[in-house]
């Protein structure tokens, strides 16, 4: 890990150990809730890939996984409000109990669009799991069914979360110094 990447972090919010505890707690709850169901985890790329990889290993009931990629942020710090699907699901959702796995629930605009699109595909059920919730930024009515933690209205990176496609590989979640993104 390059030292200059660490120099861009103001402070660590969630250590590697904190993140492991979150994953175990959320995985246990999902396992209890999805007993005897047809669980399909859908990771919204790229941000949730690290969380998804750990979470699916913490889930003890049978499940399938699929991935979708959407674009709404570009390299900026605020959502553009326009959602573009860059990789759609490979699996037909009918008959599945769908759990959408996200890295962060921020404004909710992107997730609102994704959830509405998924409902139209007629899964048995649909729920939302987010590693982090940033309720101060919500602009639409979207609530997660599973939340790893609440984060302040700061720009966070690491453990899959990025700024301009960088910092995803940090093993912790930290607050990015405002000078990095011009905040």
* Domains assigned to the chain: 16-152 (3.40.50.2020)
The answer on pLDDT for 183 being more than 90 is no
161: which strand partners? 158
Note if the pTM is more than 0.85: yes
The pLDDT tens digits of the residues spanning 28-45 come to 999 999 999 999 999 999
| pLDDT category of residue 1 using cuts at 50, 70 and 90 | very low
Task: Check residue 137 and give its pLDDT.
Answer: 86
Task: Work out the mean pLDDT of the chain and round it to a whole number.
Answer: 92
The answer on pLDDT for 2 being more than 50 is no
Task: Print burial letters for 95-126: b (CB count within 10 Å at least 16), e (below 16).
Answer: ebbbbbbbbbbbbbbbbbbbbeebeeeebeeb
Active site residues: 106
The pLDDT tens digits of the residues spanning 58-113 come to 999 999 999 999 876 544 555 556 778 899 999 999 999 999 999 999 989 889 98
The answer on pLDDT for 12 being more than 90 is yes
């Amino acid at each position: 890990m390059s030292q200059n990447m660490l120099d861009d972090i103001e402070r660590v919010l969630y250590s590697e150990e904190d993140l492991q505890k979150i994953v175990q707690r959320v995985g246990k709850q999902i396992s209890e809730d999805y007993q005897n169901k047809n669980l399909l985890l859908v990771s919204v790329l790229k941000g949730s890939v690290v969380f998804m990889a750990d979470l699916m290993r913490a889930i003890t009931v049978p499940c399938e996984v699929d991935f979708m990629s959407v674009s709404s942020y570009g390299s900026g710090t605020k959502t553009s409000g326009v959602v573009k699907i860059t990789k759609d699901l490979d699996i037909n959702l009918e008959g599945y109990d769908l759990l959408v796995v996200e890295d962060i629930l921020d404004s909710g605009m992107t997730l609102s669009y994704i959830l509405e699109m998924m409902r139209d595909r007629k899964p048995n059920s649909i729920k939302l799991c987010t590693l982090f919730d940033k309720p101060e930024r919500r602009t639409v009515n979207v609530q997660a069914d599973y939340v790893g933690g609440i984060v302040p209205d700061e720009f966070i990176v690491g453990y899959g979360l990025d700024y301009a496609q960088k910092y995803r590989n940090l093993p912790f979640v930290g607050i990015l110094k405002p000078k990095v993104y011009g905040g």
